[in-house]
Amino acid sequence: MPDLARPLALVAGAFALLLGLPAQAQSAAEPPSSEAIVDAFEAVLGPIRTHRPSHAKGTCAAGHFVATPDGTRLSVAPVFNGQRVPAVIRFGVGVGNPAGPDTGRTTRSLSIRFETEAGDIWDMANISAPIFGSPTPQVMVQGLLARRPDPATGRPNAEAVAAFIAANPSTTNQARWLAATLPPASWATTPYWGVNAFRFRGTDGEVRHIRWVFEPRAGTQRLTEEQMRSLPSEFLADELRRRVAAAPVEFDMVLQFAGPGDDLTNPTVTWPDDRPRAVVGRLTVTEVAPGPGGACDPISFLTLDQAPGIEYSDDPTLHARTGAYAVSLSRRLQ
Ligand code: HEM
């Protein structure tokens, strides 16, 4: 353990005891195990065996991805070979309850499994906000545990939540962004950000730190306040079915390149808008499942790397994702 880490862990442990939380989950230094992460979701939501603990509501879709010449130049990964790559897709709503509303000020999601003809698989899960709600997996677990329902009231302990937020102010960045941004009018009319930084290795051998966003070719359209009140809690899936039946829905995959001083490891902050960008591919959605279930249901979108073309950055939340998603899936399939 580094010199500073132990005192920090002790302070965090003392803080945990004050809040009545298990000290182990509150260690500031040690990343939580994948099991501890999923346990923390279950501490808030109860045992989850039928749906995802995050983005629980979703609809399966399918389509394909084709890299642009810039994409082929910027990544040597097979998915950017310029051929048509089939895609299993899931559109989701960032709620813990699969019956949660489509109209809330939460994130929407676009998860994609690419599978090349040669059998190379690349997974990703993107959200309709440019930032995430936790700077590290440790803080994510602490935030979940702080929101556990109090057995006496069935509600989170307000003092524990306030103390957690005071100690971790960056965890409110995403909520403030969502409060200031109306929800998407359609799954087809919002950008979806990958949020975490990755390293792309191009055909020139150069490694570039990037973040990506899927930009809707239909443009960005948001609900009005009145629609948020009047629309039914289920409308996104039918709207997408109607839209795709009329014409494929398309997104451009756009890379944003890190500049000097940009934070490469903290997903609660954005990079400046004027950073250079490149369109590296187009995702085309051609089918939407007629109802619940489908090819996206029994899989998890594991946020994989594709070394050497697409490698993880040093962002600790990125490193926590694959294992946690796998544990979550294994509990769902039990
Ligand atoms: C500490 C970091 C993170 C942890 C521990 C974590 C944990 C999880 C878990 C356990 C699931 C359920 C997976 C399943 O059951 O299949 C999930 C789903 C999801 N997460 Fe994360 N997550 C993290 C970071 C992020 C970030 C930064 C994003 C932003 C892009 C994100 C977006 C999503 C989406 C969109 C889903 C739903 C995927 C689907 O459609 O199946 N997560 N997350």
Residues 244-296: tens digit of each pLDDT: 999 999 999 999 999 999 999 999 999 999 999 999 999 999 999 999 999 99
Kindly report the protein residue whose alpha carbon is nearest to atom 30 of ligand 1: 126
Cβ atoms 188, 216 nearer than 8 A? yes
Query: How many angstroms is it from 178 CA to the middle of ligand 1?
Result: 17
Element (H, E) at 320: helix 316-333
Kindly report the protein residue whose alpha carbon is nearest to atom 40 of ligand 1: 111
Element (H, E) at 16: helix 5-19
Q: Which residues contact 151 (CB under 8 A, 6 or more apart)?
A: none
Region for 82 from its dihedrals, namely left if φ exceeds 0, alpha if ψ lies in -120 to 50, beta otherwise = left
Q: Ligand 1, residue 300: give the atom nearest the CA.
A: 16
Q: Ligand 1, residue 34: give the atom nearest the CA.
A: 5
Query: How many angstroms is it from 111 CA to the middle of ligand 1?
Result: 10
The residue segments making up the domain with residue 81 are 48-133+180-333
Higher-scoring residue by pLDDT: 18, 202: 202
Percent of the chain topping pLDDT 70: 91
pLDDT at 330: 96
Whether 151 maps to a domain, the answer reads: no
**Number of domains present in the structure of the chain:** 1
What is the best residue among 325, 330, 333 to mutate for testing ligand 1's pocket, by most ligand atoms within 8 Å of CB? Answer: 325
Whether 322 maps to a domain, the answer reads: yes
Please state the rounded mean pLDDT for residues 47-53.
90
Please state the rounded mean pLDDT for residues 299-313.
95
pLDDT digits over 130-140, tens only? 999 999 999 99
Residue type, 9: A
Comparing CA positions, the residue from 253, 273, 251 lying closest to residue 262 is 273
Whether 7 maps to a domain, the answer reads: no
pLDDT band, residue 48 (cuts 50/70/90)? confident
- In whole angstroms, what is the distance from residue 204 CA to residue 255 CA? 17
pLDDT digits over 144-155, tens only? 999 999 999 999
Residue 22 has pLDDT above 80, yes or no: no
Whether 190 maps to a domain, the answer reads: yes
- In whole angstroms, what is the distance from residue 118 CA to residue 333 CA? 27
Percent of the chain topping pLDDT 90: 89
Q: Ligand 1, residue 41: give the atom nearest the CA.
A: 10
* C-alpha dist (Å) from residue 298 to 52, 99, 126, 258, 288: 10, 18, 18, 35, 16
Q: Is the dihedral of CA 278, 284, 289, 294 positive or negative?
A: negative
Q: What average pLDDT does the structure give for the chain?
A: 91
Active site residues: 55
Comparing CA positions, the residue from 271, 175, 185 lying closest to residue 228 is 185
CB under 8 A, 24+ apart: contacts of 170-176: 170/135, 170/266, 170/268, 170/269, 171/133, 171/134, 171/135, 171/139, 171/143, 171/268, 173/131, 173/133, 173/268, 173/269, 174/107, 174/129, 174/131, 174/132, 174/133, 174/268, 175/133
Residue 1 has pLDDT above 60, yes or no: no
Query: How many angstroms is it from 157 CA to the middle of ligand 1?
Result: 25
pLDDT at 5: 32
Whether 174 maps to a domain, the answer reads: no
Whether 259 maps to a domain, the answer reads: yes
Q: Lowest-confidence range among 11-15, 39-43, 329-333?
A: 11-15
Query: How many angstroms is it from 328 CA to the middle of ligand 1?
Result: 10
Other CB atoms within 10 Å distance of the CB of residue 3? 6
Q: C-alpha angle with apex 32: 131 to 58, nearest 5 degrees?
A: 50
Protein residues whose CB sits closer than 6 Å to any atom of ligand 1: 37-38, 52-55, 58, 90, 92, 109, 111, 125-127, 132, 134, 137, 140, 194-196, 267, 300-301, 317, 320-321, 324-325, 328-329, 332
Helix (H, G, I), strand (E, B) or coil at 87: strand
pLDDT at 149: 95
Whether 68 maps to a domain, the answer reads: yes
Whether 212 maps to a domain, the answer reads: yes
Kindly report the protein residue whose alpha carbon is nearest to atom 13 of ligand 1: 325
Q: Where are the beta strands (DSSP E) in the chain?
A: 57-67, 85-93, 108-115, 121-127, 192-193, 198-201, 207-216, 249-257, 277-288, 310-312
Residue 37 has pLDDT above 90, yes or no: yes
Helix (H, G, I), strand (E, B) or coil at 308: coil
pLDDT band, residue 28 (cuts 50/70/90)? low
Cβ atoms 75, 309 nearer than 8 A? yes
Q: Which residues contact 26 (CB under 8 A, 6 or more apart)?
A: 12, 13, 15, 16, 19, 142, 145
The two tokens of residue 187 are 């799954």
pLDDT digits over 309-330, tens only? 999 999 999 999 999 999 999 9
Query: How many angstroms is it from 279 CA to the middle of ligand 1?
Result: 25
pLDDT at 15: 30
What is the best residue among 33, 48, 55, 319 to mutate for testing ligand 1's pocket, by most ligand atoms within 8 Å of CB? Answer: 55
pLDDT at 30: 84
pLDDT at 49: 86
Residue 7 has pLDDT above 50, yes or no: no
pLDDT digits over 154-178, tens only? 999 999 999 999 999 999 999 999 9
Question: 284: domain CATH number?
Answer: 2.40.180.10
Region for 258 from its dihedrals, namely left if φ exceeds 0, alpha if ψ lies in -120 to 50, beta otherwise = beta
Q: Ligand 1, residue 110: give the atom nearest the CA.
A: 35
